A and B are shown apart, each in its own frame.
Chain A
Amino acid sequence: MADTNTPPDARTEAPLLEIRGLRIGFPRPDGPPLVVVDGVDLSIRQGEILGLVGESGSGKSMLALAAMGLVPAPGYVMAGDIRLDGRDLVTLSEREWQKVRGRTLGMVFQDPMTGLNPVRSVGALLGESVRRHQKVGPEEAAAISEAALKAVGIPAARERLAAFPHQLSGGLRQRVMIALALVNRPRVIIADEPTTALDATIQAQILDLLRDRLHEAGGLMITHDLGVAAEICDRIAVIYHGRIVETGRTRDVLAAPRHPYTAGLLAAVPRFHGRGTRLIPIRGAPPGPVSERVECSFRPRCAKAAPECAAAPALEAIAPGRSVACHHPVAAAPAREDAQ
């Protein structure tokens, strides 16, 4: 498939993480598997944050877990490549995966209240990961852990090593979760809805932190909130019903969404919404997972649906670094003059 979602200036640089044709399925006893991620291509370069945006149930978490080799059974990767620095991960054994997780790939999960072991101290959690991947003694591991806590903006880092999760606020816990993802300086950090469980004010702080830390490596920022993606992502990929429907540089996508679904998402974000007009939620709900796709999955909800939409459209380049999967994309001229 053509390299369609690469900005021209970055084209020479090989991607850090490259996903090609990824399909993830759940077997069914009475028929072919349900496909929840269906032929996704993504790439992330050094120093770049890619936003993966879509409604709940669209397959974002499954994609992230596949990149970590953690698709929950009975789900499995049906097809595709996941390459990290050119090395194929899909074929790794569990033992090899364990050397990659936490070392070259770090992951931040959504809920810091349940995501940290209640009976392990912060220092024990971090130190365990450091000593698993780096040949250091306990003192050096503690020093590395402390540095990681400092890097995520936790005050009194040394004392916090002795703290247990319940002694920390939600915001601090999420910082610890981020420290856990980056303590071994991974090449790519995946953050799955890292601010969804947090208060609005804390959300902004955590986004600032992620913007800095993810840019130092490569970042995959997963969110259902286009506004959050707009804050920190260099590029955006919009996922709908297990497929990427639109990609492009963040400012291009926000200025002129080409897929009707992206346009709908944008219209539902208060910050991008013109004053005096109504917020327009996308009508209807996304379809459940299917085994085989015939029509465009967005067709039942789409205002522009036409007879051609009975055949699912492919993702095609429409400009350098910009692609869309739609038979009737929204006009290229800014659909909403207030979108900036």
Chain B
Amino acid sequence: MTRSSAIRDAMLKRVTELAVLLFAITTLLFFLLRLGGDPAMIMAGDEADPEVVALIRARYGLDQPLIVQYLRYLGAMLTLDFGESLRASRSALGLVLERLWSTLLLALLALLITAVLSIPLGAWLGYRPDSGDRKAVNAVVFVLQGIPGYIAGLLLIQLFVVELRWLTSIGNQGISSWILPSLTLASFLVPKMVRVISANVSEAMREDYIRTARATGASGPELLLRHALPNALLGATALIGTQFAFLMSGSLITEVIFAWPGFGALLVASVTRLDFPVVQAAVFVIAVLVFLVNAGTDILFNLIDPRLRRQTT
């Protein structure tokens, strides 16, 4: 098989996976949401006239049999038409995409913070995992990993907003308002990444190639930074995909806590209001995003791991 046809096959497989995944998720979502309640009643309010409710039903096609609604929904989705929001009379997908950038900004900042915190800490912990001080820090990280991420957000607000009054906790109002939400979101990932990196580093430090490097006169820092850490980080990149999915779920909570105008907050609000089209569009976008990050990680992995890189000689 030639190389280009191998790549084409791999891409075809990926795209097929994505299609199956999206079909499954949207179908599941469609029926789950219909179990939750009657959106027309919610839109019209508790005291509403039955005629108004009927009108609303007709306007959004909610009076049709469920299977008809489902088929219509599938057909529309093929053209990326999720319908209008039941609340805002705007395209549901448009609403979601408008919020996408805020969420991605937050996610990117959180990833950056995670890298800045967990690479040095993980390397330090893994370099000599048996020394007393590192055992203690390891125990702390282990405990932190068990604490839900939103607790960190609430503690941060209590400290910096309520007590110290240094920062604001509401919405996106420029750089100073990014700090707390991105720290909170990062707190979902940091303990896990510290543990993964330190485990990878301590494993790498026991490898034969470390002894070889020692025999050429390498110092402790050289062993760690030039020999163990590159291998440890390479192992950790494989986790980016799953951690990104985790990050997206963390962004739901974080955005609600900080009234952050991202699509996580939009999704939560839309679920409570039974705004089906928006929920469906948001879940669709998250699924595509997670898929893209996973595929991107694979490509990245192929580029940076010399063992997977194509031979050029």
Contacts and interface: CB of A to CB of B under 8 A. Distances in A.
Does chain A bind chain B?
Answer: yes
Interface of A: 68, 70, 95, 98-103, 106-107, 109, 111, 114-121, 125, 128-129, 132-133, 159, 162-164, 166-167, 177, 180-181
Contacts of A98: 217-219
A109 B216 CA distance: 12
B217 A115 contact: no
Contacts of B212: 109, 115-117, 177, 180
Given A70-B214, A99-B217, A117 B307 contact: no
Given A118-B306, A119-B230, A121-B306, A101 B209 contact: no
A164 B313 CA distance: 11
Contact of B216 (A114, A121, A128, A159): A128
A114 B208 contact: yes
B208 A180 contact: no
A70 B305 CA distance: 30
A118 B208 contact: no
Q: Which residue among B216, B226, B231, B313 has the maximum number of chain A CB atoms within 10 Å of its CB?
A: B216
Given A70-B211, A180-B212, A159 B313 contact: yes
B211 to A, nearest CB: 7
A180 B216 contact: yes
12 contacts: A70-B214, A95-B219, A101-B217, A102-B215, A114-B207, A117-B227, A118-B231, A118-B306, A125-B216, A128-B216, A164-B307, A166-B307
B234 interface: yes
A207 B307 CA distance: 29
A95 B213 CA distance: 15
Interface in B274-313: 305-307, 309, 311-313
Given A70-B215, A117-B213, 6 more contacts: A99-B217, A103-B217, A109-B211, A116-B209, A119-B234, A119-B305
Contacts of A181: 215
Contacts of B226: 120, 128
Interface in B218-264: 218-219, 222, 226-227, 230-231, 234
B313 A115 contact: no
Contacts of A133: 217
A116 B207 CA distance: 9
